[in-house]
Amino acid sequence: MIHTFFNYKVKIKDTPFETEAGVKYENTAAISFLDENKKEVAYIELGFINSEDVYKLIDEKKSINLDFCYIENFSLSDYRESRNMDKKSYIKIHQFSAFNTFFDSRIITDFSYVEFNDEYKNFENAHFLNGSVSFHSSRFHEGGINFSYTYFNDGDVDFSNTDFGSGEVNFKNAWFGTGHKNFQDTHFGDGNVLFVNTEFNKGDVTFVNTVFNSNRVSFKVARFGEGKVGFHFARFHCQELVFERTEFGDGKIDFRTTEFADAKVSFNRAVFGNGEKSFEAAQHKGGKITFRKSVWGDGNISFEQIEFDNTILYLDNADFGKGNLSFNKSRILELSLKSCHLDYYVDLRLSKCNSIDLSDTVARDIIDIKPYDFDLEIDTINFSGMRLIGRVYLDWLENDVKKLIYSQTNTSLREKAEQFRILKENFNSAGQYDDEDKAYIQFKRNESKAILHESLKRNKISVLWQYPAYAFKMLVFDKMGLYATSPIRVIFSNIVIYFFFAFLYTVIPYFTDSSLTSAQPDQSFWIKFWDAAYYTGITYFTVGYGDILPVGSIRYLADITAFTGVFMMSYFTVAFVRKILR
């Protein structure tokens, strides 16, 4: 393919030309390709054929072989006009081949409303040197079509409303100049569609309302220049769709309401420019769509209202640049944003999603998960390893945070504890102190369980002391005060402990040689209980009037009572001050 030239000039020589296949032409077309300094950079000689001679072959319904030819101003519109045919009447062309053919036109090379027969059609390495190119409403039927290494210098290329039939459509390594590449309403049949390594250059590329019915559609390593890339209403009814390492330009990338059917879709390592990217209301019946290690440039990214109810959407290790990212009102089976850098606003208010993976992400701005005008049906969110520099907007009750984390089946107790710790710090920075306390309680509970299980795993003998230690922490730190987050719980615990000691002081003298002595004579059990309650109070709160004295072994219980009282009052003070200071 020759495309590194600034200008060219053509000279028709009277010398005959013979192709490698033995086809002879009366004249030779000598084409010189020049750089900006008018220096020749390439030279080629081809057989020269007149457009009218091709028209006669069409009239005679003969096969048309233009391999290694140069042809000027080929136009089927001119052909119809010269034959007084209707402007939209189809023209049948038989056994067409234009391998290494150079088309040249002042205005347009026109193949519109052409109907190729069922044989294989070949435009491989064809060059459209000047003027726009139109295959509008053409029909290729069976057998396939080869546009690989084809050079469209002008860039205004029209394949709109074309029916490519059931054969393979190959644009591999094709090169388009600046202009509008129009594939709107085009129908690709059962054969593979290959735009591998295709250079689209500047200008809009339109695949609006295009239908792909083949097994495999590949835009792998294709490069789109500046201009809008539109797949709006496109229907990919194929088994595999590949956009791996595709480079999109800075124009708007439009996949709105695109139907991906049940295709296996890959945008891995795709590079998007700085324009808006929209997959709004796209549909996929089920399977996987992957954007791993994709680079999204600047500009907003919309996955809003997508219908991926049975689809796993992978965006792992993606770089979202400086744009906002939105999944608002979308329905996705599973969404993975693992190891992403989320530097700008992310809207994760999905209508329905079984699982969202935010593990190992770096979040520098707002991640919005808090319901607003509709309910969120999100079962699980994984925050493991998140570096939260920004803030997560969510509510403990409305988002049912406990369910989001406890429903995880693939995370350890240590990882669950870490997630609650992250959310605890997040709630603190957001001023959601009640939610902070709830997250802190779950963090400590999971941390305690993790320590217990990890210790037993390292040393099974440690069960002798680990279980008692765990039980003590659960009773004193958790049940009695919810890790100093609930002054009311501490007060209630104090009351229970107070009457427990009073009961002990009442019943122990019945079984031991000990008693509480006072000026009161021996009385009934309940009178003794209230005396014991009084003594418990002055000991528990370290008042110590001395009007009632413990005698015998019960004195040691008095020491325990005093220590417990001091401890519980300190516990209450911590919990109360913690609430007040915030």
- Name the band, by pLDDT with cuts 50, 70 and 90, for residue 549: confident
Structural domain span for residue 432? 413-461
pLDDT digits (tens, 9 = 90+) for 85-119: 999 999 999 889 999 999 999 899 999 999 998 77
Rounded average pLDDT over 466-477 = 87
Residues 436 and 495 in one domain: no
Indicate if 538 and 457 belong to the same structural domain: no
Q: What mean pLDDT do residues 398-411 have?
A: 94
Q: Counting every residue, how long is the chain?
A: 582
d(CA 367, CA 364): 9
491 and 577 fall within a common domain: yes
Q: Are residues 497 and 564 in the same domain?
A: yes
* Same domain as 573, residue 502: yes
pLDDT tier, 519 (very low <50, low <70, confident <90, very high otherwise): very low
In this predicted structure, what is the pLDDT of residue 387? 95
The mean-pLDDT minimum among 159-163, 357-361, 464-468 falls in: 464-468
| 213 pLDDT higher than 60 | yes
Residue 564 lies in a domain: yes
Averaged pLDDT, 548-573:
87
Higher-scoring residue by pLDDT: 527, 271: 271
Average pLDDT over residues 202-217: 94
Distances (CA, A) of 331 to 283, 306, 338, 358: 10, 6, 19, 17
* Average pLDDT of the residues of the chain: 91
- Regarding whether 418 and 492 lie in a shared domain, the answer is no
Q: Is 354 a domain residue?
A: no
- 447 and 496 fall within a common domain: no
pLDDT of res. 539 = 87
Q: Which of 79, 73, 109 is nearest to 92 (CA)?
A: 79
Among candidate residues 396, 426, 461, the one where a domain is terminated: 461
What integer is the mean pLDDT of 426-437? 92
pLDDT for res 514: 80
> CB-hemisphere CA count at 13 Å for 118?
2
Tokens at residue 265, please? 């879709």
pLDDT of residue 167: 87
The answer to whether residue 95 sits within a structural domain is no
Q: Look at residue 507 in the predicted model and tell me its pLDDT.
A: 86
Q: How many domains does the chain have?
A: 2
Q: Do 576 and 497 share a structural domain?
A: yes
Q: Are 325 and 348 contacting, i.e. CB atoms less than 8 angstroms apart?
A: no
- Assess whether pLDDT exceeds 70 at residue 465: yes
Q: Any idea what the CATH number is for the domain that residue 525 is in? A: 1.10.287.70
Q: What pLDDT, in 10s, does the model give residues 301-351? A: 999 999 999 999 999 999 998 989 999 999 999 999 999 999 999 999 999
Asked if residue 194 lies in contact with residue 171, where contact means CB atoms within 8 angstroms, the answer is: yes
| 388 sits in which H/E element | strand 387-388
Mean pLDDT, residues 206-225 taken together? 95
pLDDT category at 520 given cuts 50, 70, 90 is low
Q: For 480-503, how does the pLDDT look when each residue is reduced to its tens digit (9 = 90+)?
A: 988 888 899 999 999 999 899 989
Structure-model confidence comparison of residues 554 and 524, the more confident one: 554
Is 207 within 8 Å of 227 (Cβ atoms)?
no
Q: Tell whether the model's pLDDT for residue 210 goes beyond 50.
A: yes
